[in-house]
Amino acid sequence: MKKQDTMAQVLIPTADPAWVLCTHGYDPLRQTSVESRFAISNGFLGIRGARSVTRGACWAVPPSTYVAGLFDTASAESAVPTLVPAADWLRLKILLPGGPMVHHPGHVSSHCTTLDMKRGALLSEWHRLKAAGQDDADAAFHMRTMRLVSLDERAIGLQLIQFEVKDGGMETTLEASFEGVDRGLVVERLEHELGLWRTHNSGKRLAIATASRLLIDGRELEPIARGELKSTWKWSCSSGQVGCFERLVAVVRADTLTGDPGKEATAKLAGARRLGALGLVARHEAAWASRWRLSDVEVEGDPAAQQALRFALYHLNSAANPADERVSIGARALTGEDYRGHAFWDTEIYLLPFYSLTWPEAARSLLIYRYRTLDGARAKAARMGWRGALYAWESADTGEETTPDHAVGSDGQIIPILSGREEQHISADVAYAVWQYWQASGDDGFLLEAGAEILFETARFWLSRATLEADGRSHIRGVIGPDEYHEHIDDNAFTNVLARWNILRALDVAALLRERWPARWAALSADLGLGDDELAEWARAAETMATGFDPETGLYEQFAGYNQLEEIDLASYAGRTVPMDVVLGRERTSASQVIKQADVVALLGLLPDAFPGDTGLKNFQYYEPRCSHGSSLSRAMHGYVAARLGLSDLALRYFRQSAAIDLGDMHVEADGGVHIAALGGIWMTAVLGFAGLALTEDGPGLDPRLPPGWTSLGFGFQWRGRSLRIRIGQAAQEIEASLEAGKPMVLQVGGRPHKLRAGKTVNIPMGRPAAARRGVSPRPEAAGEV
């Protein structure tokens, strides 16, 4: 097969519609949301799905390129760093005698853009027809394009464009250049194949090395001109002619102003050129195939749910980079600029479950980021008069608090932002993710290197934060829970119960280190000044923590005084298109029981054992109708919890609503990037909810309750060095469990143990005897092992 024929095959999307998203034509109202939805990323580089050739001269924005960790501040005095976009390296213009081939993005015929989720690539196909009355001085073209950022070598980006002249001929010019070279960064040096930039104030540098070539009918054409990051070709096109343009870039971020990132970028580019475009595509696709093998979720009977899950998994797998422990995943990943690229609690609560169970290397890297920023958390706690570690509510690359002090409200008023001071549950959220990762992975090295210290320092914070008062209870006052409609509240149930859990797990780990790793305990406790007296204080604080739980009703009061607030029937506001705090006003909302997002319900999702008997269902039924879902996170958490409670119809409704945030045709909420935490919540609803996967004290367990219409659900997960594949059949009421790699183990199904051995599939009937215990196991090797 000729090389150009092979290239043509590369430019054809995957045929199976379950693996692709397509959009046709040009709709300026929805274009920015399309750009987010169709973004490509590898956890280091992210490129929005804007057009590169057919956007016209000035009608559409260029495709923004984001580099993880490339933060800067507007001035030396500014305290709020922002993820800075790099130059657009995809700019390409084709010039005909009458001017640009495309004047306006709508002036092309049958334009189709395809996100090939299976291959991790963005492709497009379109036709350019002859202009009326210009038969002798015009030509018709059939164009195909492809772009990717390599999952095999994350520094590398590739652009491919193939065009065929269908009719006519003329002198044609092709210009390949960079756009926005001075957008947000200071240019240090621009050469033909290398650009060097630095940030204004954060002390970072960026290098992009590039190489491009144009082949006409398989013969490489020499440029007629070369400039700074620019090449120009000119030739006479004719009917039947096939051209192929290839462009490579290698991107390197340096976190100091010393050294030469340009040298590293040039070396990486040289390696990519030796491999060639087709070789790069093959390695990239192999890396994606590996990720899909370990993380894919297969649904039969519900094509819309299958597409929603594939979309979620595509972006989740795109967002992480296990090789870089200095960055986390922002609220919009690398798909847009909303929230300035900052990381929130979203990462630990909504993303880490997916990574811990399908990509432990990525989970570990994200948690090492939290370990690297532990000093910043200590400093924040100290500034506020407490001990231990209080993590930043919004975090960039250093771990310093980056939450802005003020924002413009929906009514145009300047409002204070208190989350950076009062939304302190973030420290317990980080501790929760540390514990869950260790339970899933059995990574004792991580626990000894980083995890134990995080648990100890966050527990120490809660000890200093909770005050033992005259009623014999330890109270945490002046906080914000996940429900941000209510500020400066006392004894938020989510915060207090998770803080108590944080302290108890720290005590477990202290006992474990003393028993199994006494030398490490001696060194770490000495470094932290942690002695028996303080451990006793931890135990006292956990025992006396005010939780708001009423044993008579079985309900947690969301915070002290919540039950006395105004009740508002949210059903009366069905169909509204703006958040409830806009409908009611901030003052009335804060004086009401209207909840912004899952709060007690989120606690039920994280710590189901804190809800004895049927109190989990009681709390869900009480708080669910009071939640206005003013956050993109809320419906996903409600769906997950509803699925665990067996409310499958309601859970499926929340699943679909969460998917519609980024996929719905009537939504433009994704303008600033996809909602990566909601996408993590979609996976949680399917795998942890409908399949009932949980890490119990007896090992991993399943308690499946598939929703209507799902005839089967298949997924993979990893547990302590093992890879498993599960298929749940609705009709047969049977589970197929396969241990694909790793030592023998025990899988709990409905509370009953089943032994698994590598290479064998076990068929397990679904029943519902005694529920699996969802407690904690301070010794990972003691649970689920054979």
Residues annotated as catalytic are 484
Which of left, alpha, beta for 746 (phi over 0: left; psi -120 to 50: alpha)? beta
| Burial degree of 308 (CB within 10 A; 0-12, 13-18, 19+) | buried
Within 310-413, strands assigned E span: 406-408
CB-based contact 661:676 (threshold 8 Å): no
- By residue count, the chain amounts to 786
Q: How many CB atoms lie within 10 A of CB 486?
A: 24
Q: Which residues pair with 351 in a beta bridge?
A: none
Phi first, then psi, for residue 474 (nearest 5°) are -90, 125
Which tokens is 245 given?
């343009």
Which tokens is 176 given?
């390949």
End-to-end CA distance of the chain: 52
Q: Number of helices and strands (H, E) in the chain?
A: 22, 36
- Give me the residue label for tokens 């809320």: 634
Phi first, then psi, for residue 290 (nearest 5°) are -65, -45
| Burial degree of 129 (CB within 10 A; 0-12, 13-18, 19+) | middle
Distance from C-alpha of 62 to C-alpha of 160, rounded to nearest angstrom: 17
CB-based contact 455:734 (threshold 8 Å): no
CB-based contact 651:636 (threshold 8 Å): no
The amino acid that residue 737 corresponds to is A
Kind of pairing between the strands at 699-702 and 745-749: parallel
Which of left, alpha, beta for 392 (phi over 0: left; psi -120 to 50: alpha)? beta
Q: How many CB atoms lie within 10 A of CB 139?
A: 23
Radius of gyration of the chain (CA): 27
Q: How many CB atoms lie within 10 A of CB 387?
A: 16
Which tokens is 152 given?
């095999």
Q: What's the Cα-to-Cα distance from 169 to each of 83, 165, 175, 204, 660, rounded to whole Å? A: 45, 8, 18, 48, 46
* Contacting residues for 676 by C-beta, under 8 A, at least 6 apart: 315, 316, 319, 329, 330, 331, 332, 333, 335, 346, 351
Report which secondary-structure segment, H or E, holds 325: none
Give me the torsion for CA of 656, 660, 661, 662, rounded to 10°.
Answer: 120
Distance from C-alpha of 749 to C-alpha of 769, rounded to nearest angstrom: 9
